[in-house]
Structure 1
Amino acid sequence: MNEMRAALYDRYGPPEVLYEGRVPVPDVNPGEVLVRVRAISVNGGELAGRAGKVRLVTGRRFPQRTGIDFVGEIAEVGASVTGVREGERVWGVLGRMTSGSAAEYVTVRPRQIAPAPGNLTPVEAISLPAGGTTSITALRDKARLRPGERLLVRGASGGVGSVAVQLGKAFGAHVTALAGPNNLDFVRGLGADEVFDHRTTGPSELGSFDVIMDTAGTEHPAFRRLLAPGGRMVAIAFDMANPLPSIAYLLASALHGSRRVRFFSGNPRHELFAELTRYAENGDVRPVVDTVHPLASIAAAHRALEAGGVRGKHIIEIA
Structure 2
Amino acid sequence: MRAALYDRYGPPEVLYEGTVAKPDPGPGEVLVRVRASSVNGGEPAARAGRLRLLTGLMGRGFPRGVGLDFAGEVAALGSPMRALAVGDRVWGGGRAVWSAAAEYVVVRPRHLAHAPAGIDLVEAATLPGVGTTAITALRDKARLREGERLLVRGASGGVGSVAVQLGRAYGAHVTGLARAANLDFVRELGAHDAFDYRTIRPAELGRFDVVLDTVGSGMEAYRRLLAPGGRMVAIAFDLDRAVRSLAHILVSGVYGPRRVRFFSGNPGHELFAELTRLVESGAVRPVLDTAYPLADIAEAHRALESGGVRGKVVVRT
In 2: Cα distance, 1:310 partner to 1:298 partner:
15
1:149 corresponds to which letter in structure 2? E
Question: What SS does structure 2 have at the residue aligned with 1:244?
Answer: helix
Judge conservation of contact 2:94–2:129 (CA < 8 Å) in 1. Answer: no
Judge conservation of contact 2:231–2:257 (CA < 8 Å) in 1. Answer: no
- Taking structure 2 as the reference length, the TM-score comes to 0.97
Structure 2 counterpart of 1:14: 11
Judge conservation of contact 1:94–1:101 (CA < 8 Å) in 2. Answer: no
1:1-319 equivalences in 2 (<5 Å): 4-59=1-56, 61-79=61-79, 81-96=81-96, 98-254=97-253, 256-318=255-317
How many pairs are equivalent?
A: 314
- Structure 2 unaligned segments of length 5 or more: list them: none
In 1: Cα distance, 2:246 partner to 2:279 partner:
33
Judge conservation of contact 1:94–1:108 (CA < 8 Å) in 2. Answer: no
In 2: Cα distance, 1:129 partner to 1:253 partner:
30
In 2: Cα distance, 1:246 partner to 1:81 partner:
44
Pairwise CA distance, 1:243: 1.0
1:304 corresponds to which letter in structure 2? A
Using the TM superposition, name which of 54-63 and 22-31 deviates more: 54-63
Pairwise CA distance, 1:81: 3.8
2:272 corresponds to which letter in structure 1? F
In 1: Cα distance, 2:149 partner to 2:237 partner:
23
Pairwise CA distance, 1:190: 0.3
Pairwise CA distance, 1:94: 3.9
In 1: Cα distance, 2:87 partner to 2:251 partner:
48
- Structure 1 unaligned segments of length 5 or more: list them: none
In 1: Cα distance, 2:8 partner to 2:133 partner:
29
Aligned in 2, Cα 1:71/1:254: closer, same or farther, shift over 3 Å? farther
Question: What SS does structure 2 have at the residue aligned with 1:212?
Answer: strand
1:88 corresponds to which letter in structure 2? D
In 2: Cα distance, 1:192 partner to 1:293 partner:
29
Pairwise CA distance, 1:34: 0.3
Judge conservation of contact 1:34–1:108 (CA < 8 Å) in 2. Answer: yes
1:217 corresponds to which letter in structure 2? G
Pairwise CA distance, 1:255: 5.5
Aligned in 2, Cα 1:232/1:94: closer, same or farther, shift over 3 Å? closer
Question: What SS does structure 1 have at the residue aligned with 2:20?
Answer: strand
In 1: Cα distance, 2:171 partner to 2:100 partner:
34
In 1: Cα distance, 2:253 partner to 2:294 partner:
40
Structure 1 vs Structure 2 CA RMSD: 1.2
Pairwise CA distance, 1:123: 1.2
In 2: Cα distance, 1:213 partner to 1:94 partner:
21
Judge conservation of contact 1:233–1:260 (CA < 8 Å) in 2. Answer: yes
Question: What SS does structure 1 have at the residue aligned with 2:5?
Answer: strand
In 2: Cα distance, 1:288 partner to 1:74 partner:
24
- Taking structure 1 as the reference length, the TM-score comes to 0.96
1:73 corresponds to which letter in structure 2? E
Judge conservation of contact 1:32–1:81 (CA < 8 Å) in 2. Answer: no
Question: What SS does structure 2 have at the residue aligned with 1:241?
Answer: helix
In 1: Cα distance, 2:9 partner to 2:69 partner:
21
Pairwise CA distance, 1:252: 2.5
Pairwise CA distance, 1:52: 0.6
Pairwise CA distance, 1:258: 4.4
Which digits, 9 at most, give the CA deviation of each residue in 1:1-56, with x for residues without a partner? xxx00000000010000000000111211010100000011001111110111101
In 1: Cα distance, 2:127 partner to 2:69 partner:
10
Aligned in 2, Cα 1:94/1:268: closer, same or farther, shift over 3 Å? closer
Question: What SS does structure 1 have at the residue aligned with 2:229?
Answer: strand
